[in-house]
Structure 1
Amino acid sequence: MKLLFAFLFTIILANVSFAQDAKDTKQKSGEPVSTIGYIEKMESKSGYGINGFYIQLTKDEYEKYYDRKIEVSGKLLIVKGLTDEQLKTMQGSKEDRYFIEETVIKIIE
């Protein structure tokens, strides 16, 4: 029983540490970050989304990685959102946006 519990705990811990979501990140800009998931179907102005992070891909790269489980790692870049006052005179997003730069992409499935 203890062995089973230890095994399950290890698997859950590994899953949590590798499947990172942008909203849960505590890192600062410039620090390494990685996430495992699927690229969103639609591109936004910020790039292609994966688990709340944005990455830049060419059309060929998108076609290669779309609908496949991938691990994306690189350096985190956080672009701070605008305040309500700033949104009156500037274009931008109210929420912080999280980008992965210097990306390394590995196909999992």
Structure 2
Amino acid sequence: QLLAAFGLSRADLADDDRVAAAVRGLAARMPTYITLKDVKKRWGKGQEDVFPVTQFEKLWGDMTTLPGYECGFVVVPRVRGQQLKEVAQLDGWLRDGSAAYLETLCAWA
């Protein structure tokens, strides 16, 4: 059913140009979401700035707007954590739950 949404067959998958054209064609039919949000940049040593950002995106997981295709969602647990790369990130890492999640995975001696 997914190949049909792109107008492709299994044999078409070997043709890169045809696949690219099919993806662009379906992308033109997908909704574009515009998000306005503030992004926080942490510089370290307690300094952080907030910058306004406009984000344009197509959510390929949301094919529910396309007529003629049955789409659904399945709820699954998704715990995630951010990588800690600098000591300056410790505060945010602790506050966003990354530290707590890591603690559930490790046995500390």
Q: TM-score range by the shorter chain?
A: under 0.3
The structure whose RCO (Cα within 8 Å, separation 6+) is larger is: 1
Larger Rg, first or second structure (1 or 2): 2
The two structures have a TM-score, normalised by structure 2, of 0.22
Q: Which has the higher strand share?
A: 1
